[in-house]
Structure 1
């Protein structure tokens, strides 16, 4: 299965703008512009400044970003939905919770159907044969990619758009502001002095097709080798090393690769007290010392929840295509648990990885790991 179109929107811009910022070590963190920082206990976030005009005929905020990315990805793929069966699977952590908060605060109109993304998707793709909204926490768009591959493999669609989106909400910000003794200035994955996670927002989408399924198919941007998923239910919020390891090995099995065949890892890297050492330990268990280079992108764009997995995947494909692995923005001194990992930090690393692993882990042990392969120019 190949990726024939893609699109991404983060606080740093589109995919090209985000990738260039990552190479430059630039972070999109800024003072919080949603809610009252004093009441929420959060000062900074990775928000998108251009939030667009709100009117009743338009999809809500996350839906607008989603619709834009779905349309852009389909245009790249040069798909005519009138002649192809196109399904869409959207992964999200919060759906349109922002709209619920607006309804509660000031009585803004809210239709229950808007909590899912069918309306938003059909605003740009009315011919979609089916649209699914998955709420699988921070691994949601990884799960969307897995279901998209299943739909394609089973012949339920000619092409499937896998997507993810989320916007920050006051309730989620309040939770972040209350779980720690202090809040972070920025996200610093695997850093000894990390202060925890901060929210980002945006959307991402990829078009998945069978290779050579149509004569006008554009050149592939990458090959999806396989996606491993799991729900270990170890704890409501704490990650479990064994569950993460099992999902990584499931991904390798589905992709037909060994750990030695993986050339790059895009880590989940939330900069939280538990995730970073647990993920580092899981990576060392699977790959051993001397494993592949490891990078992560949340220091630059924050934790984008439902979109996180696909955003990391698109950065992995960009790195394989352009021959530079971006550094972990915000990482200065690695934690002891990650010292034996080959972390990329300080500056980009020239490399031509062929196979990349993309990690995404969510509350409740909802995990997704994707394996993608580069294509020859």
Structure 2
């Protein structure tokens, strides 16, 4: 079975898809002062916020999710009233921000999942599934979406992801940093650690081997999604687990490593992730004299947790369409482990990109790797 992407929308610290792609092309960084009265106690003073302070909502992730699902479905041209449309939402934290405010602003338990948020955009959705799989959650949502299509459980599936910043997660980040991080610097020798971003992403996938459910243009083809769960460590990534996910994705896509033109890396700017990811990429692509270009977006957008995989996927789809790859924002001096990789630095570059790989890795070794191809 072939799955095609016919709708896509994201929300980041820069705004919608168009605003985000423009910011990435220009190499801008969306970091700002952390909007929390607890920032000094948390040990985190900066963050990549997705909205103006005056516009903050209690159910923040739900609001962005509704907007992205609505826009992606509209672009796809799929009519949920006439077609079976399922929705799979990946998240790391669900609506934990709302839970932290419950003493002052009570929230219904049902709102901590995303059924209501999705049905504000697609009231007729046949089912809404929430997957809580850490930082690779929306990559797993895409894998489930493809499975639902292959099993003929739906005519179209919306794969989505969302997360908002929470004091609980910020406190964890502050505990593991020797000093407050000023910005995310993926694959940089002087990286200080990760910072949270926030937002949402949604893509509509349909079967490409039968008459389409919608009228929208095909944006890209999902060639395969590879998964692994190595349970190597609570937080530390395992290169063997990452390589397994990459090779699983290549096998499902029916491609060889030589056919990958671009890798959108997970690239969190942490002490452990970046060297491990670079090492894993070297193991997969190191035999090539002219390996794939490598980029990553968290230096610009922060780590958007459950939305990270599909936000990177949207950037990959844009690169396939425009034949332009954004540089890694914040990268000045690459780490030694990345020496053999063609990391895009300085400014965006034009390139012939037909096949792109998107990496996403979560705590506990929950990994998802997606392969997408350019539309015909």
Place the TM-score, normalised by the shorter chain, in its bin.
over 0.9
For the residue of structure 2 that corresponds to 1:134, the secondary structure is strand
1:19 is matched with which residue: 18, 21, 41? Answer: 21
For residues 312 and 326 of structure 1, the distance between their equivalents in structure 2, rounded to whole angstroms, comes to 11
Alignment check: 8 A CA contact 1:200 1:304 kept: yes
For residues 364 and 124 of structure 1, the distance between their equivalents in structure 2, rounded to whole angstroms, comes to 33
For residues 56 and 328 of structure 2, the distance between their equivalents in structure 1, rounded to whole angstroms, comes to 35
2:173 is matched with which residue: 164, 171, 176? Answer: 176
Alignment check: 8 A CA contact 2:206 2:213 kept: no
For the residue of structure 2 that corresponds to 1:310, the secondary structure is helix
| Unaligned stretches of 5+ residues in structure 2 | none
Deviations 1:275-334 (A, max 9, x none): 000000000001115320100000000000000000001101111111210000000000
For the residue of structure 2 that corresponds to 1:103, the secondary structure is coil
Most deviating of 35-44 and 242-251: 35-44
Alignment check: 8 A CA contact 1:294 1:341 kept: yes
**Match of residue 41 from structure 2:** 39
TM-score by length of 2: 0.96
Deviations 1:14-53 (A, max 9, x none): 1111111111110000010134211111111000223676
For residues 276 and 308 of structure 1, the distance between their equivalents in structure 2, rounded to whole angstroms, comes to 16
For the residue of structure 2 that corresponds to 1:176, the secondary structure is helix
**Match of residue 219 from structure 2:** 221
**Match of residue 135 from structure 1:** 132
**Match of residue 75 from structure 1:** 74
1:181-260 equivalences under 5 Å are: 181-211=178-208, 212-214=210-212, 217-260=215-258
| 1:214 to partner: Cα distance | 3.2
Instruction: Please list every run of at least 4 consecutive aligned residues from structure 1 whose deviation after the TM superposition is greater than 6 angstroms.
Output: none
Are positions 1:162 and 2:164 aligned together? no
1:1-377 equivalences under 5 Å are: 1-50=3-52, 60-104=59-103, 106=104, 108-211=105-208, 212-214=210-212, 217-288=215-286, 290=289, 291-376=291-376
Alignment check: 8 A CA contact 1:51 1:61 kept: no
Alignment check: 8 A CA contact 2:155 2:213 kept: no
Most deviating of 71-80 and 289-298: 289-298
| Unaligned stretches of 5+ residues in structure 1 | none
For residues 255 and 261 of structure 1, the distance between their equivalents in structure 2, rounded to whole angstroms, comes to 11
For residues 216 and 109 of structure 1, the distance between their equivalents in structure 2, rounded to whole angstroms, comes to 39
For residues 25 and 296 of structure 2, the distance between their equivalents in structure 1, rounded to whole angstroms, comes to 12
Deviations 1:240-275 (A, max 9, x none): 000000000000000001000100000000000000
